[in-house]
Chain A
Amino acid sequence: MTLAQDQRKAAPCGQTGLDVFADFLDGKTARVKRVHVVLNDDGRSASHRTLEITDAEGNRALWPVATLRALPDQAGHSGIILRRADSSEERLIIDDPSTAARLRAICPYLHKRPPVTGKGRLFGWGLGAIGSVFLIVMVLIPLLANQLAELLPPAAEKALGDATLDQIREGLDRTGANPIRICEREKGLAAVKIMQARLTKEMDLPYPVEVHVLDHPMVNAFALPGGHVVFFRGLIDEAETPEEVAAVFAHELGHVAHRDPARITLRTAGSVGVLGLLFGDFAGGTVVLFLTERLVQASYTREAEALADDFAHETLKKAGISPAALASMFERLRARYGDEEGIVAHFASHPAMIERIEKARQAAKNLSLETEPLLDSDQWADLKAICGVRFNPLDYIRKMRPQMPPKAE
């Protein structure tokens, strides 16, 4: 120490005048050495300056100022910890705030980040990870889900549907605490039964069809595994004739008959976990919530939609209802949501709406049906009131502004 103190007296302070004691860690032993630090300023440019570090035994090290790096994100508020860019072992710990400030002013590359090593490897694994997730989510899971959906026994499919229905009801509710109400007014349900009986008269499904109406303003309907068909109240409100509701019903029955919901649900069961893995928990349950939403708005393939439409045309004809009802329901939706894809509702995301309207019209051409009405006016009123009659200011406002899509809450 005496040697260092002598040096301190002898050392010229120079214009930059940096001359302090500090702790030095050599990275070889756990000893903390007290060292004397002086800034050598021989008049050359700033990048040629060096810190001269001398220990008690007189061992001297020169650290070029340009190689100095400060450890980032330190909680010690007064000082600075230095290392050399070209060596990861040694540390110089300066606790004096004014010296730390001086060093920050003098050293040009104090906060330069170390170069990223192993970029190739990182790139390789990145591609590997994206590739494997893509392969699994886009290829393997759909393939497997399609196969397994065929093998799923009816009872299992029903159980899967029950579980999914509960999840969707919870997911649709913003707080997640109280699930959305299922509308169960007896007269309304009776009207649904009449409609269902007429549509499924000649149908051979492995499980009974169960219809639910959810008390929610979304103009939407979907099918779940195991014969669940779910209508949102918004769709029944929007329909102008019972035949329009029946047309949508028939379309959803098409999905049921083709087991599309089981496929989608199994696919989601596999994909949710993988995507969750990728994103982590950066925003709470948002990702999971988002995926639940997607499940409701499950976009089937074009083929699946076309097949469900064909199925609906046939079913409606057999039930003595004109497939034109499907066309008019689609037109109503198109007028409301436009032809855009995937913003608000399930039907809005169905591709090529015009084409589908056209096909429904074609199916309705040259048809002579005994026009026995589906529901009488009382039954139709009962269906409309299945969720109870009440004044909802939100619905009122939406009716006033048909250009605004309803919120998918």
Chain B
Amino acid sequence: MSASRIRTEYTGRKWRLFLLTLKTSLLTLLTLGFYRFWMKTRLRRWFWSAIRPGGQPLEYTGNPIEKLLGFLMAVVVLAFYIGIVNLVLVFLSFTLLNDNLAAYVVSFVGVIPILFFARYRARRYILARTRWRGIRFGMEPAAWAYSLRALGQWLLTILTLGWLYPRQVFNLEKFRTDRTFYGSARLHQGGDWTMLRGPAFYNMYAAAMLSIGIVALVQFGFLSEKKLLWLVLTGPWFLIAFLWFRVHAFRTMANHKSADGISLIAEPRLPRVLGIYLLGYTLAYLILLLFIAAFVFIALFAAQWLFGVNPVVIVTWQERVPTWVQMSAYIFLYFSIFILWGVLHQVFVALPLHRHYAQTLTITNPPALARIRQRDRDHATEAGGFAEALDLGAAI
């Protein structure tokens, strides 16, 4: 067993992640967002190092300064686009159509090619900064080609009312995988897109079509508005089927990836992933509610003790507590909720998901690893800056 396959261990602990996320989010807030490049780097280092295929941790070697630099580069380009182009679009849209919807649509459509471009570049940057057993991953530069390909695939999906969505998912993943390297070994995405069709996709498709159909029929007056209640059923159905499709697609495509005789076996399970989301968000909400309750409780007693406010009569609150104290309390509450939510999401959703996907991943034929050589360092100068500026890299 051990000679022909290696399993993946996961060593991340929630408490450690909690502390790291809390500390870095506070710093980000205190520096008006400037620390976010450091935060992202540190979190990635942590998440990467928790994943240990065959007992050897992944290493993230990206650094914050290069991210900052890449971001600055993106700002120079995008500030012009977002400022001037949007202003002109808003003007034209109001002048010609008396509405700003057109401006938003055109502005968004104009950004789409950059979005795909940024996504590919960000992935290339992340791979170039990821190592396992001391060997770098890497990706060939092909961001514009990818952007073009993605546009074409999306167009096809839209024209076929979503029927070719699995084809799009597969082809784009193949485009990226076939350009990915682990050291000297090029990855290969085998199989074909029809693997992704199946009950998961059909369910997702049916739920989506039903939901859109109901909304459209109600919109055009063919159905009474009460029928919108059906969305209570079709909505969750769609979400679950979508998740099912995602898990299935990840699993199927991973199982058809190979590099120099090495291949992967991925076995993530839908019930587990679903359970992680449900449990994770429930816990996060509960803790947040507890926090707010504790805050209100403490605030009421502090007000009584410091300013002699009677906690039962709210009017005296406004009267006796100085405005700046009230404002500070509101601001404190707002930012703590904002930060706490992010932290809880990392701890109760992101970490368990990582753990599940890691622990169900097996690598076959490890002796072939001995043949793999190092690849040159990819400078990837822009370091995901466009993705950062366009807020694509929000997820780790």
Report the minimum CB–CB distance from B352 to chain A (whole Å): 14
**Which of A29, A136, A156 lies in contact with B95, CB distance below 8 A?**
A156
B87: interface (CB < 8 Å): yes
Report the minimum CB–CB distance from A77 to chain B (whole Å): 6
Of B68-76, B222-230, B265-273, the one touching chain A: B68-76
Task: Kindly identify, within residues 74 to 118 of chain B, every residue whose CB is under 8 Å from any CB belonging to chain A.
Answer: 75-76, 78-80, 82-84, 86-88, 90-91, 94-95, 98-100
* Residue of A116, A128, A269 contacting most chain B CB atoms (<10 Å): A269
**Which of B29, B88, B94 lies in contact with A160, CB distance below 8 A?**
B94
B11: interface (CB < 8 Å): yes
Interface size grouping (class) on chain B: 35 or more
CB pair A30–B135 under 8 Å, yes or no, is yes
Interface size grouping (class) on chain A: 35 or more
* Residue of B75, B82, B98, B134 contacting most chain A CB atoms (<10 Å): B134
- Contact partners of A116 in chain B: CB under 8 A: 65
Write the A146-188 contact mask toward B (1 if CB under 8 angstroms, else 0): 0010011101111110010000000000000000000000000
CB pair A76–B50 under 8 Å, yes or no, is yes
Write the B117-141 contact mask toward A (1 if CB under 8 angstroms, else 0): 0000000000000001111000000
CB pair B373–A29 under 8 Å, yes or no, is yes
Cα of A122 to Cα of B87 in the assembled complex, Å: 29
- Contact partners of B17 in chain A: CB under 8 A: 75
CB pair B370–A279 under 8 Å, yes or no, is no
CB pair A28–B36 under 8 Å, yes or no, is no
- Contact partners of B50 in chain A: CB under 8 A: 75-76
Cα of A21 to Cα of B132 in the assembled complex, Å: 20
Write the B10-45 contact mask toward A (1 if CB under 8 angstroms, else 0): 011100110010000000110011001000001101
CB pair A270–B389 under 8 Å, yes or no, is no
A144: interface (CB < 8 Å): yes
Of B197-205, B239-247, B288-296, B315-323, the one touching chain A: B315-323
CB pair A30–B83 under 8 Å, yes or no, is no
CB pair B65–A282 under 8 Å, yes or no, is no
Cα of A121 to Cα of B84 in the assembled complex, Å: 26
Task: Kindly identify, within residues 90 to 127 of chain A, every residue whose CB is under 8 Å from any CB belonging to chain B.
Answer: 90-91, 93, 114, 116-118, 121-122, 125-126
Q: Which residue of B lies closest to A88 (CB)?
A: B61
Task: Kindly identify, within residues 134 to 178 of chain B, every residue whose CB is under 8 Å from any CB belonging to chain A.
Answer: 134-135
CB pair B369–A30 under 8 Å, yes or no, is yes
Supposing A29-B374, A278-B75, A280-B388 touch, asked if A270 and B36 sit within 8 A by C-beta, the answer is no
Cα of A158 to Cα of B75 in the assembled complex, Å: 33
Cα of A156 to Cα of B98 in the assembled complex, Å: 5
- Contact partners of A152 in chain B: CB under 8 A: 91, 94-95
CB pair B36–A282 under 8 Å, yes or no, is yes
A274: interface (CB < 8 Å): yes
CB pair A144–B75 under 8 Å, yes or no, is no
Cα of A279 to Cα of B183 in the assembled complex, Å: 36
Report the minimum CB–CB distance from B4 to chain A (whole Å): 17
CB pair B79–A74 under 8 Å, yes or no, is no
B372: interface (CB < 8 Å): yes
The 10 closest A-B pairs by CB, nearest first: A25-B134, A282-B33, A75-B50, A270-B87, A159-B98, A156-B94, A125-B72, A30-B372, A73-B45, A273-B82
B→A interface (CB under 8 Å)? 11-13, 16-17, 20, 28-29, 32-33, 36, 42-43, 45-47, 49-50, 52, 56-57, 59, 61, 63, 65, 68-69, 72-73, 75-76, 78-80, 82-84, 86-88, 90-91, 94-95, 98-100, 132-135, 182-183, 315, 318-319, 323, 326-327, 334-335, 338, 369-370, 372-374, 388-389, 391, 394
20 residue pairs of the A-B complex, CB under 8 angstroms, read A30-B132, A30-B369, A30-B370, A31-B370, A72-B45, A74-B57, A75-B13, A75-B46, A75-B47, A118-B69, A160-B100, A163-B99, A269-B87, A269-B90, A270-B84, A280-B33, A280-B36, A280-B388, A281-B394, A393-B318
